[in-house]
Amino acid sequence: MDTISAETMAGQRLMVGFDGTFFNDDLKWLVGTLRVGGLILFSRNLEEPDQIRQLCQDCQSYARQCGLPSLFIAIDQEGGQVARLKPPFTQFPGNPAMRDIEDAIRFARVTARELKDMGINMDMAPVLDVAPENTDSIMAQRAFGSDPQWVTALGTTVIDHLQRRGVMAVAKHFPGIGRTVLDSHLALPDLDADMAALTNVDLVPFAAAIVNNVAGIMLSHIRYTAIDPMWPASLSPSVTTDLLRVQMGYRGVVMTDDLDMGAIKPGYDIDTAIERILLSDVDIALICHKGPDIEAAWEKIRRSTTEDADLNDKGARSFRRILELKKSYLSGSWMQRYGLSAA
């Protein structure tokens, strides 16, 4: 770890969005100068298969040229309401329409094949939120359903069949936003459910995802007053360190939801958000739009982990978790894990 620069360690803890459909000077700066660990693709980056494939190849080639680890290249491809890839890619009706385990298997198999063919190695899926019946849940059109056991069964199936085909799954939105009716894209919701309700319902699919070695877990931008009455989950040590890592035993990569969302902006400036993330054992900050916050986040991570011994230790652990995940999935090790061959 001593030979890794603070600049590289800071960059690897960022996953960022960008503008454009081809490798450009902005991407050269993000990858080569800020040394970001991951990119996330949106509709603004996607035109047709050959263009997407070339974009991903060029980004990975430049990372290698710079002597950096392979990039996480992520996308939100849940099916239904949230699917960035449009035809000719396979279109699925979405999680609420899944009738049985076979539907989940087919979704994951087809999606993994299409993502891998493009060079996309991470899917921000599955949604593991439990949306209660008879409520105006913000996740009603994206969740598998209202029964935590059903959500668990379908969610873990998607995780297994994405990951056995080399696509990292990211379970979201921990510790569960199915009970909320206010959209965190617009403002910061409070959730007043007690810990017994969360444990018996909302946390059940995430506990199973941990047992099934999910590659990543995404934190919500919801304030869970029974856990931490001050900070949203994405900025709370009580949620990530105490609940997710200590109580639930998760040792994998944890990331925030998009820090550009209304639940975070304008209530928390980027320095405050990153400071809280660093305190919370969160590995990756997700910033989905081009702008000054990306460089400001990088500088805050670099400076804080250099000047504070405790944050330096936490940062080293995060860096190791990120590199271990990249080694597992971007070097072919996942094939041995699942007993697969290169053919």
Residue 161, domain CATH: 3.20.20.300
Is 2 domain-assigned?
no
Assess whether pLDDT exceeds 80 at residue 74. Answer: yes
Full domain range(s) for residue 52? 11-332
And the tokens for 137? 């849940």
Structure-model confidence comparison of residues 80 and 183, the more confident one: 80
Domain presence at residue 339: no
- Average confidence (pLDDT) over 186-202: 89
Tell whether the model's pLDDT for residue 335 goes beyond 70: no
Average pLDDT, the chain: 93
Point out the catalytic residue in the list 19, 100, 117, 185: 185
As a whole number of angstroms, the distance between CA 295 and CA 9 comes to 14
Per-residue pLDDT at 342 exceeds 50: no
Q: Residues 78, 95: contact at Cβ < 8 Å? A: yes
Domain contains 340 = no
> CA-to-CA distance for 251 and 241, rounded, in angstroms?
10
% pLDDT > 70, the chain? 95
For residues 317 and 311, the answer to whether their CB atoms sit within 8 Å is: no
Q: Per the structure block, which two tokens stand in for 341?
A: 């061959």
Peptide bond into 175 cis (omega under 30): yes
Q: Phi/psi class of residue 253: alpha, beta or left (left: φ > 0; alpha: ψ in -120 to 50)?
A: beta
Q: Is residue 66 part of a domain?
A: yes
- pLDDT beyond 70 at 122: yes
* pLDDT higher than threshold 60 for residue 332: no
Determine the residue type at 204.
Answer: V
Active site includes 257? yes
Q: How far is CA 134 from CA 88, 112, 127, 145, 146, in A?
A: 36, 34, 20, 12, 10
Q: How far apart are CA 34 and CA 300, in angstroms?
A: 12
Number of Cα atoms under 13 Å in the Cβ half of residue 263: 23
The number of distinct structural domains making up the chain is: 1
- Indicate whether 110 pLDDT > 70: yes
287 inside domain: yes
Across 154-182, average pLDDT:
95
Question: Is 4 a member of any domain?
Answer: no
Cis peptide before 87 (omega within 30 of 0): no
Specify the pLDDT at position 258.
94
Active-site residue (options: 76, 202, 257, 258): 257
What's the pLDDT band for 135 if we cut at 50, 70, 90?
Answer: confident
- What's the CA gap between 182 and 262, in Å, rounded? 11
- The answer to whether residue 3 sits within a structural domain is no
Res 341: pLDDT: 43
Residue 52: inside a domain, yes or no? Answer: yes
